[in-house]
Structure 1
């Protein structure tokens, strides 16, 4: 699993990172999710196509904590993201080259590592599943209505 790459399961998954929080919506299930702190960083790196091993290395650079705790937290989060069908394994990691960040971060600048927690919400399922974006094909594009509407 160390060299495994993943990608976000688009187009059924839409996401945005705002003020350090990853907000993720599964358009097929209507569930939405939140990842904060290290979880948001992991989500961003998955979206960039980084391998699991490289994500662990990068978090070790950004956070204070043991590599064992980080590896366990990252591994568990990736398993949970797969179970929720938010990410899928990707063999074609050449499309997303891993970029090195050589910025030096002093120990005093590092944040304490906390185990990432995927928060799941289903309270807006009905609204998200009724959204007309689900009924629009690629050729007409949102927000245009489908062409088969009767007048």
Structure 2
């Protein structure tokens, strides 16, 4: 398994919330937001809190056991999208027993959906990007 280390949220510009067990992750820099399947939401919760990917191999879901290749692909996507970053000095956390129960109830394979339909509005953040002499909204410049 390639992606076996400990991960953390990649930057302060990555924010997330769970709604009825579904995680929605927002990248404030690009304005893209990401939705996960129910099993993906559970893995996001685990990975973003320091549970090593290798600890999740073999966890039972409603559709079978998570295999190393599926987890590896999911982690690769999260790294590619800049949502997670590998942590070299991170402390690995054990898999919470409630997460194992939630994974067992998950009925969808690992999946990431990307949405950018609101990206322009999210990037123009009129509340947090106020420039006193200019007023708002202040458009963030691409780097």
Give the TM-score band, short-chain normalised. Answer: 0.7 to 0.9
Tell me, yes or no, if the aligned pair for 1:13 and 1:86 is still in contact at 8 Å. Answer: yes
TM-score (norm 1): 0.73
List runs of 5+ in structure 1 lacking aligned partners: 136-144
Give the match's secondary structure for 1:126. helix
4+ residue runs of structure 1 moved beyond 3 angstroms?
A: 99-103, 109-114, 148-151
Please give the root-mean-square deviation of Cα atoms over the aligned residues, in Å.
2.7
Tell me, yes or no, if the aligned pair for 2:14 and 2:83 is still in contact at 8 Å. Answer: yes
C-alpha distance in 2 between matches for 1:15 and 1:124: 16
Matched, 1:6 2:7: yes
Structure that is richer in helix per residue: 1
The alpha-carbon deviation at position 31 of structure 1 amounts to: 0.5
TM-score (norm 2): 0.77
Cα distance change on mapping 1:65 and 1:32 into 2, 3 Å: same
List runs of 5+ in structure 2 lacking aligned partners: 136-143
1:72-113 Cα offsets, whole Å, 9 max, x none, are 22111110111111111111222xx4135457x89xx93366
